[in-house]
């Protein structure tokens, strides 16, 4: 099987500092995959090696089956990268920037290329900026151009390194709408972001890095179910019935007008709990159900040891409620 990205036992040191300590991961074609971790975890180093900007000390990396060292030309043609930093040539317009970028990959100026550039400009709301000099653009607009540059040679694999850092809501919505379209058409997306809600909404599988190692990797659904929990919060004008005290996670407030929080596995347990509260004669004045959040999962995993097995192997599920 040819993977979109295949990283095996990759190591990288800068002097005495270990940036990558034997990283291995595989991203299948067509996946929307997140690579998460705190600053200094090694994410950008790994991306730099994929892009050919630096070399690994050990291990192998392939993009669409092409080794990034031995077959670097094919590997780079298969890859489009949106970097964290805003880098641009101040002497060209937006359209000229994209035409030159295509030329770097051997793509000649043709009506087909012009049509694709027009489509990119439209999808990223840059049409009215096409003939503006890059120096005249705002930071958000320049970041949109970076996205267009990464896509102009139609790569099957797209790496987004903090693409929405410091940008407005409009750009986020525009960008993610377009990226979802590309993913639906078969493009593989590798995303790094500190906005964990983006990763939770967009990505089907997630790897988490810490100190140059992968400490957790699984589907988003499994990570959420193993390391986080759905909870029911109810506000009562009375004390909680004694029969439910053992099921409560925590109480917010004292006695009357208190919020009480319960762990639940599925929505059927909500009705069970509410029935018990009503049977005990307590009055519910407010309630809410909150879904598991990736931020909670991330914090738990980062606070654990250096290595965490796949979430499917964990047995740390929240306590259930028996009817």
- In angstroms, the first-to-last Cα distance of the chain is 47
Task: Identify the pLDDT of residue 48.
Answer: 94
Task: Judge contact between 201 and 7, C-beta under 8 A.
Answer: no
Environment class of residue 41 by beta-carbon count within 10 Å: exposed (0-12), middle (13-18) or buried (19+)? buried
Give the model's pLDDT for residue 219: 94
Return the pLDDT at 199. Answer: 93
* Token representation of residue 201: 């909404």
pLDDT of 60: 96
The pair of structure tokens assigned to 39 is 């600053």
Q: For strand 79-82 and strand 17-27, is the pairing parallel, antiparallel, or unpaired?
A: unpaired
Distances (CA, A) of 39 to 44, 162, 217, 261: 9, 11, 18, 33
The answer to whether domain 230-290 has CATH 3.30.70 is yes
Q: How many CB atoms lie within 10 A of CB 310?
A: 13
CATH number, domain 5-78+155-224, options 1.10.8.60, 2.40.50.140, 3.40.50.300, 3.40.1280.10: 3.40.50.300
Q: Specify the pLDDT at position 286.
A: 87
User: pTM to 2 decimals?
Assistant: 0.79
Average pLDDT for runs of 10 along the chain of length 323: 95 95 95 94 94 95 96 95 85 93 91 94 92 89 91 95 80 87 95 91 94 93 80 79 72 65 79 83 82 84 62 32 35
**According to the model, what pLDDT value does residue 317 have?**
28
**Max intra-chain CA distance, the chain:** 77
pLDDT at 310: 42
Instruction: State residue 315's pLDDT score.
Output: 29
- Separation between Cα atoms, residue 228 and residue 304, nearest integer Å: 14
**Sheet with 284-290: strands ordered across:** 248-252, 258-264, 230-236, 284-290
Contact yes or no for 4/27 (Cβ under 8 A): yes
Give the domain ranges of the chain.
Answer: 5-78+155-224, 230-290
Output the pLDDT for position 312: 36
CA distances to 132, 245, 264 from 276, in Å: 66, 12, 14
């Amino acid at each position: 099987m040819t993977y979109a990205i295949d990283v095996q036992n990759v190591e990288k040191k800068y002097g005495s500092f270990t940036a990558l300590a034997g990283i291995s991961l595989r991203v299948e074609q067509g996946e929307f995959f997140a690579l998460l971790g705190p600053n200094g975890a090694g994410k950008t180093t790994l991306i730099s090696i994929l892009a050919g900007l630096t070399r690994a000390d050990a291990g192998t990396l392939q993009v669409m089956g092409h080794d990034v060292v031995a077959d670097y030309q094919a590997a780079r043609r298969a890859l489009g990268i949106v970097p964290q930093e805003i880098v641009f040539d101040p002497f060209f317009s937006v359209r000229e920037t994209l035409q030159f970028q295509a030329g770097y990959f051997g793509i000649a100026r043709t009506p087909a290329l012009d049509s694709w550039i027009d489509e990119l400009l439209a999808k990223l709301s840059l049409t009215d900026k096409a003939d503006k000099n890059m120096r005249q653009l705002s930071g958000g607009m320049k970041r949109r151009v970076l996205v267009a540059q990464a896509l102009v040679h139609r790569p099957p694999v797209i790496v987004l390194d903090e693409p929405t850092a410091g940008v407005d809501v409009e750009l986020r919505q525009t960008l993610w709408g377009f990226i979802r379209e590309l993913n639906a058409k078969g493009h593989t997306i590798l995303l790094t972001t500190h906005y964990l809600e983006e990763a939770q909404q967009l990505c089907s599988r997630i790897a988490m890095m810490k100190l140059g190692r992968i400490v957790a990797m699984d589907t988003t659904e499994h990570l959420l179910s193993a390391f986080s929990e759905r909870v029911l919060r109810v506000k009562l004008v009375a004390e909680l019935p004694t029969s439910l005290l053992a099921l409560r996670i925590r109480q917010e407030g004292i006695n009357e007008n208190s919020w009480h929080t319960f762990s639940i596995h599925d929505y059927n347990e909500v009705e069970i709990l509410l029935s018990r509260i009503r049977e005990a004669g307590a009055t519910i004045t407010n309630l809410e159900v909150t879904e598991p959040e990736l931020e909670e999962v991330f914090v738990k995993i980062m606070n654990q040891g250096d290595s965490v097995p796949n979430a499917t192997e964990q047995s740390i599920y929240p306590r259930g409620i028996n009817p």
